[in-house]
Amino acid sequence: MGVLTYAAEAPIASGIVVAGRYRLCSVLGRGGMGTVWLAQDELMERWVAVKQVDLGSDWSGKTARKRALAEARAASRVEHPGVVRIIDVVRDDDQPWIVMEALSGQSLGAAIKEQGPLPVEQVVRIGHCIVDVLDAAHRAGVVHRDVKPGNVQLCDDGRVVLLDFGVAHVPGADWRPPPGGFAGSPAFVSPEQLQGGEPLAASDLFSLGATLYAAVEGRSPFDRGDLFATVLAVAEGRMTPFRRAGRLTPVLEGLLQPKLGRRWSAARTRAALLNL
Ligand SMILES: Nc1ncnc2c1ncn2[C@@H]1O[C@H](COP(=O)(O)OP(=O)(O)OP(=O)(O)O)[C@@H](O)[C@H]1O
């Protein structure tokens, strides 16, 4: 099969075949919305990743199916090598599954956990890739809303890929996260997102700032160890002072501006990263 790097990791194929075609092999990762499996596409004879979307409290699977379709459509709308390629959305036993290209490597979140703070040059490169992806997404009308280290995949071939469009906003989409709460991850969301405001491209740039900060400093600028304290730190714009960011500091400060009018745009961020 195609991606040979998986051969060693993939154990004996399981007996579970999804949609008569995708044989589940091993778990690639788990998130709040479901489990991502490495699977063999027995028809095309290649490796794929399939995301088993949790049904939550809706046992009929109707909401989960809408959610899965919305996620797949949002990601498919952005044509960029830095966005995970969606192959299909299939239904098996009333459960929706998103079929994607299988990416090698590990998430940025896993890399930080394993290695601690990453070198500035590496974080500059990651920043470059993700700001480019976000710019493409925003031009396509998609706001990701959950940019964080766990959703950035560092592939073995150097590709940096944005994952998980599960709470992305697309105008006119059929499914939206329930109103009232906020979509995203507390330690990485912008203050305006926390207040449940309209989805804005600028909010993704704030989350990019928090993600790059976490990569270079080893933890989110607002992580206080418990949810309430973390949310308060975001709301009050109190970030932990920089210790390792070095020449990345002005870019991170620009992206992490709590006031929308002062926050750096994708173009300004890209230009600044180029000059570092
Ligand atoms: N296409 C893929 N190829 C390889 N690994 C993947 C792929 N998609 C996801 N993963 C792995 O699975 C993990 C969880 O994926 P994902 O973030 O899409 O799930 P989720 O349930 O939506 O998570 P969240 O908690 O952010 O909502 C990722 O951190 C990544 O390591």
Q: Which of 36, 48, 52, 107 to probe ligand 1 with, by most ligand atoms within 8 A of CB?
A: 36
What total of structural domains would you count in the chain? 2
132 and 267 in a common domain = yes
Which residue numbers are catalytic? 146
Q: Say if residue 51 carries a ligand binding annotation.
A: yes
Q: Which residue is it, tokens 């095309």?
A: 44
ipTM above 0.90, yes or no: yes
- Answer whether residue 7 is part of any domain: no
113 and 88 in a common domain = no
- The C-alpha atoms of residue 144 and residue 170 are separated, in whole angstroms, by 9
- The C-alpha atoms of residue 50 and residue 92 are separated, in whole angstroms, by 12
**Residue 182 confidence (pLDDT) above 70:** no
Give the gyration radius of the chain's Cα atoms.
19
257 and 157 in a common domain = yes
Nearest CA owner, ligand 1 atom 6: 28
123 and 92 in a common domain = no
- Answer whether residue 5 is part of any domain: no
Is residue 89 lining ligand 1, measured as CB closer than 6 Å?
Answer: no
Report the predicted TM-score, pTM, of the whole model to 2 decimal places. 0.91
For residue 31, give its domain range. 17-101
For 154-177, what is each residue's pLDDT tens digit? 999 999 999 999 889 987 776 666
**Ligand 1 center from residue 200 Cα (angstroms):** 23
Is residue 102 lining ligand 1, measured as CB closer than 6 Å?
Answer: yes
- The C-alpha atoms of residue 209 and residue 188 are separated, in whole angstroms, by 9
